[in-house]
Amino acid sequence: MGKVGTGWRRTTSRKIRDALDSVVSPKSRLSKQLKRPKATWVEPKFVAEIEYRDVTSEGLLRASSFKGLSRK
């Protein structure tokens, strides 16, 4: 639904990458395959917590902010 505008730091990126590396999947779970040869697929074990003010008419988040990552 868009990109996060704030709340993201380098240390956050490293922690998220480490968490996702623990749930790497050998293949995509999508029913329709994407042409992304460099994609790394992961099991859906985490939820990104995002705060936002509104949703645009295009269906994108407005004024979004990353709040954290939690395990499902």
**Rounded CA Rg of the chain:** 14
Residue 1 in contact with residue 61, Cβ under 8 Å? yes
* This model's pTM is above 0.85: no
* Side chain identity at residue 40, one-letter code: T
Each residue's pLDDT expressed in tens, for the chain with a length of 72 residues: 888 878 888 898 899 999 999 999 988 878 887 776 678 889 999 999 999 999 999 999 999 999 999 998
The DSSP symbol for 49 reads: E
Residue 1 in contact with residue 59, Cβ under 8 Å? yes
Strand ranges (E), 1-72: 46-51, 54-55, 61-62, 65-71
